[in-house]
Structure 1
Amino acid sequence: MFTGIIEAIGEVVELTPKNGDISLRVRTGKLDLSDVALGDSIATNGVCLTVVDLPGDGFRADVSRESLSLTTIGQWRAGQPVNLEKALTPTTRLGGHIVSAHVDGVGEVVSRVSDARSERFRLRAPAELARYIAHKGSVTIDGTSLTVNKVEGAEFELNIVPHTLAETIMGHYGPGTKINLEVDVLARYLERLLQGDKAAATDSDITLEFLTKNGFNR
Structure 2
Amino acid sequence: MFTGIVEEIAIVKNIVREQENIHLTVSCSFVHELKVDQSVLHNGICLTVVAIEDETFTVTAIKETIDVTTIGQWVIGQEINIERGMLANARLDGHIVQGHVDAVGRCVSIKDAAGSTYYGFEYDQKVKHTTISKGSITIDGTSLTVVNSGVNTFSVAIIPYTKEHTVFKHYTLGQFVNLEFDVIGKYVEKLLQIRTS
TM-score (norm 1): 0.86
Amino acid at match of 2:53: P
Which residue of 2 is the match for residue 12 of structure 1?
A: 12
Moved over 4 A (4+): none
Partner SS state of residue 128, structure 1 = coil
For the Cα contact (< 8 Å) 2:129–2:186, is it kept in 1?
Answer: no
Superposed displacement of residue 195, structure 1: 3.4
Percent identity between the aligned chains? 39
Is 1:105 aligned with 2:103? yes
Partner SS state of residue 47, structure 2 = strand
Amino acid at match of 2:39: S
For the Cα contact (< 8 Å) 2:48–2:60, is it kept in 1?
Answer: yes
Superposed displacement of residue 21, structure 1: 1.4
For the Cα contact (< 8 Å) 1:129–1:183, is it kept in 2?
Answer: no
For the Cα contact (< 8 Å) 1:43–1:85, is it kept in 2?
Answer: yes
Partner SS state of residue 133, structure 2 = coil
- Mapping of residues 18-33 of structure 1, within 5 Å: 18-28=18-28, 30=29, 32-33=30-31
Is 1:72 aligned with 2:70? yes
Q: Please point out which of 20, 39, 56 is paired with 1:58.
A: 56
Count, aligned residues: 197
Q: Please point out which of 86, 98, 110 is paired with 1:88.
A: 86
Larger Rg: 1
Partner SS state of residue 111, structure 1 = strand
Which residue of 1 is the match for residue 127 of structure 2?
A: 129
RMSD: 1.4
Structure 2 residues without counterparts, runs of 5 or longer: none
Structure 1 residues without counterparts, runs of 5 or longer: 199-204, 206-218
Which residue of 2 is the match for residue 211 of structure 1?
A: none
Superposed displacement of residue 124, structure 1: 0.6
TM-score (norm 2): 0.95
